[in-house]
Amino acid sequence: MTGYAETYRRSLADHPREAPWFYGLFSACLVVGGVLVASGTNLVALSVGIQVLNAALLPIVLGFLFALATTALPEPYRLKGTYAGMVGGVMLITAGFGVYAAVAGILG
């Protein structure tokens, strides 16, 4: 039985015949992006909206990264003790700024 990575190749390093699903989705994303740009949409407003979404999702990403750093890393590399608390505090402050920026972007 072959593994997932061998069954569904997914890299620009692979030939299109070796990774048809990847190249099909990649091409579809490029076409959708080209249609969006050519449609006359206000690209500045779209870019600002995407950045607001990025700021709103930042706490989720940072939370998962912190959870991985404290549990999934090999024992010598895990965040522990005071250092883990400091990293968690910095992540909370950063996430707070992200949420504030997202709310300010949505409301104002």
pLDDT digits (tens, 9 = 90+) for 38-56: 998 898 988 888 888 888 8
Q: How many CB atoms are located within 10 Å of the residue 54 CB?
A: 13
Both tokens of 4, joined, read 């997932």
Note whether 65 and 32 are same-domain residues: no
- What's the rounded mean pLDDT across residues 84-101? 89
Is there a single domain that holds both residue 103 and residue 87?
A: yes
Tell whether 54 and 101 lie within a shared domain: yes
Do 88 and 52 belong to one domain? Answer: yes
- Count of domains in the chain? 2
Same domain for 50 and 28: no
* Distance, CA of 50 to CA of 79 (rounded, Å): 31
Which pTM does this prediction carry? 0.61
Q: Which domain holds residue 31?
A: 4-38
What average pLDDT does the chain have?
Answer: 86
Q: What is the reported pLDDT for 5?
A: 53
- For residues 17 and 64, state if they share a domain: no
Longest CA–CA separation in the chain, Å: 55
Whether residue 48 sits in one domain with residue 29: no
For the residues 70-86, what does the mean pLDDT come to? 92
Same domain membership, residue 98 and residue 57: yes
How would you label 62-92 residue by residue, b for 16+ Cβ within 10 Å and e otherwise? Answer: beeebeebeeeeeeeeebeeeeeeebbeebe
H and E: helices and strands count for the chain: 4, 0
Cβ 16 vs Cβ 23: under 8 Å: yes
Q: What is the arithmetic mean of pLDDT over 3-22?
A: 74
- The answer to whether 27 touches 70, Cβ cutoff 8 Å, is no
